[in-house]
Amino acid sequence: MTLPLSHPALSATDPEIAALVGAEEQLQADTLRLIPSENYVSQAVLEASGTVLQNKYSEGYAGRRYYEGQQNIDQVELLATTRAKTLFGVEHANVQPYSGSPANLAVYLAFAEPGDTVMGMALPMGGHLTHGWGVSATGKWFRGVQYGVRPDTGLIDFDEVRELALKERPKLIFCGGTALPRTIDFAAFAEIARESGAVLVADIAHIAGLIAGGAHPSPVPHADVISTTTHKTLRGPRGAMLMSREEHARAIDKAVFPGLQGGPHNQTTAAVAVALHEAAQPSFRDYAHAVVANAEALAEALLARGFDLVSGGTDNHLILMDLTPKDVPGKVAAKALDRAGIVVNYNTVPYDPRKPFDPSGVRIGTPSLTSRGLGTEHMPAVAGWIDRGVTAARTGDEEALTAIRAEVADLMAAFPAPGLPTD
């Protein structure tokens, strides 16, 4: 199905960029997007993020700006903040961080000094770069110590986390990550943080939408600070938020501005407010539960086809597959699946003997396909395509990949994506 052309002003001014935007719209329409950190935002979120609010400078916070002319901007930011507080049940929210990584850096600035010890999950185990990993500023300017998952279960070993925390006495403990298919036990982390005198940071970037929709337990009241992106399961614009109890409000606000950032991106703040409004609707609860139901159904169908899933399955939106038994490296599989119209990312698995740029695994997730309305009844077909695609990757069968691509596009045509042009 060919999408109609849109963006007339852009096409007139800059046909090269307009053509690329159009091609991307077509790609997002035709393919089965399984990258667990991606989604489709609504038309309303898209519209809010492309407005004249982006013309404004607004350093400071609502009612305490360094610029005049904030009559409307202050109200936008107050709406976003109030909606975040209500949705997540927190006392304080800062909606200004530009993205998840700068939000996390602001947490370091608020609660630690350079050289201090911080603790997070190791990147190859499923943590995030900004949780003190060596190549990140957070691992260069702070002393990162890292926990992992057990080799036998693929689950976090809380005895190991406690032992490490009591030995290293970190200032910050991060929980949450980018490749964790299981529920995070925030209460267990909070107990360890209390025992070791650390500030507990729950980084819910991946699962914020599931938490908002009641499909994953909330880190409130266990975590001292909650960091999240707004563009993953929460289905907002690219951005981030920091949330906390009132006692940490000042430290967090000062760290974001003037500590780390200049003017907030007001068009993004408006789109965050819209996404938070959408996430407060009953239909979003259905969405969050459908994301998990789809992931569980997909995991079951993959297990039935002999795939090796880290931790044996999923509780959330995400599945991490170890392709070693299928005799295909993750990168080879991911590239072949991309040619078959199935977009995934290659990923390390815990204790991966291969290198991060050429790992054993593939990471997939259900937020995007659920936003298009696919349900559990479609997951056996999705697993079938993945299975055939992985086999074709091993045997170098390009014809099979082309055939899958057509079948995928056929199904996707019946489920129009939010935010993409239609006739």
Ligand X SMILES: *Cc1c(COP(=O)(O)O)cnc(C)c1O
- Applying CB under 6 A, among 28, 49, 178, 311 the residue interacting with ligand X is 178
Is 229 near ligand X (CB under 6 A)? Answer: yes
- Applying CB under 6 A, among 100, 181, 213, 237 the residue interacting with ligand X is 100
- Shortest Cβ 209–ligand X spacing (Å): 12
Residues 372 and 256: their CA atoms lie apart, in Å, by 35
Active site (catalytic) residues: 57, 59, 203, 229, 232, 238
The strand pairing partners of 345, in sequence order, are 363
Sorted by sequence, the CB contacts under 8 Å of residue 160 that are 6+ apart come out as: 147, 148, 150
CA angle 76, 205, 375 (to 5 degrees): 100
Q: How far is CA 69 from CA 98, 214, 219, 270, 325, in A?
A: 22, 39, 37, 16, 61
- Shortest Cβ 225–ligand X spacing (Å): 13
Residues 105 and 324: their CA atoms lie apart, in Å, by 36
Residue (38 or 191) nearer to ligand X, CB: 38
Is 365 near ligand X (CB under 6 A)? Answer: no
DSSP 257: I
Residue (60 or 100) nearer to ligand X, CB: 100
Contact string 290-329 vs ligand X (x = CB under 6 A):
----------------------------------------
Is 206 near ligand X (CB under 6 A)? Answer: yes
Is 203 near ligand X (CB under 6 A)? Answer: yes
Residue (87 or 205) nearer to ligand X, CB: 205
Segment 18-37, which members bind ligand X (CB under 6 A)?
37
Residue 407 region, left (φ>0) first, then alpha (ψ -120 to 50), else beta? alpha
CA angle 43, 44, 50 (to 5 degrees): 90
- Applying CB under 6 A, among 177, 219, 237, 365 the residue interacting with ligand X is 177
Residues 188 and 289: their CA atoms lie apart, in Å, by 24
Residue (264 or 389) nearer to ligand X, CB: 264
Q: How far is CA 237 from CA 35, 63, 98, 233, in A?
A: 16, 24, 10, 11
Please name which of 407, 412, 396 lies closest in space to residue 336, comparing C-alpha atoms. 396
- Applying CB under 6 A, among 120, 176, 181, 359 the residue interacting with ligand X is 176
DSSP 259: I
Instruction: Say if residues 179 and 216 touch (Cβ distance below 8 Å).
Output: no
Q: Please report how the helices 330-339 and 398-413 are oriented relative to each other, as an axis angle in degrees rounded to 10.
A: 60
DSSP 283: H
Residue (98 or 385) nearer to ligand X, CB: 98
Is 99 near ligand X (CB under 6 A)? Answer: yes
Is 130 near ligand X (CB under 6 A)? Answer: yes
- Shortest Cβ 148–ligand X spacing (Å): 15
Residue (100 or 144) nearer to ligand X, CB: 100
- Applying CB under 6 A, among 87, 200, 205, 270 the residue interacting with ligand X is 205
- With CB under 6 A, what is the number of residues at the site for ligand X? 14
Please name which of 92, 93, 109 lies closest in space to residue 246, comparing C-alpha atoms. 92
Residue 196 exposure: Cα atoms within 13 Å on the Cβ side: 25
- Shortest Cβ 367–ligand X spacing (Å): 12
Residue (101 or 244) nearer to ligand X, CB: 101
- Applying CB under 6 A, among 33, 83, 92, 128 the residue interacting with ligand X is 128
Residue (101 or 196) nearer to ligand X, CB: 101
Stretch that binds ligand X, among 99-107, 117-125, 253-261, 386-394 (CB under 6 A): 99-107
Is 132 near ligand X (CB under 6 A)? Answer: no
> Which strand (E) or helix (H) includes residue 71?
helix 71-88
DSSP 246: G
Instruction: Say if residues 307 and 333 touch (Cβ distance below 8 Å).
Output: no
Residues 148 and 146: their CA atoms lie apart, in Å, by 7
- Shortest Cβ 102–ligand X spacing (Å): 7
Q: How far is CA 29 from CA 32, 49, 418, in A?
A: 8, 20, 9
Stretch that binds ligand X, among 132-140, 172-180, 282-290, 415-423 (CB under 6 A): 172-180
Closest residue (Cβ) to ligand X?
100
Is 347 near ligand X (CB under 6 A)? Answer: no
- Shortest Cβ 131–ligand X spacing (Å): 7
Is 376 near ligand X (CB under 6 A)? Answer: no
Residues 326 and 44: their CA atoms lie apart, in Å, by 42
Residues forming contacts to ligand X in the complex (CB under 6 A) are 37, 99-101, 104, 128, 130, 176-178, 203, 205-206, 229
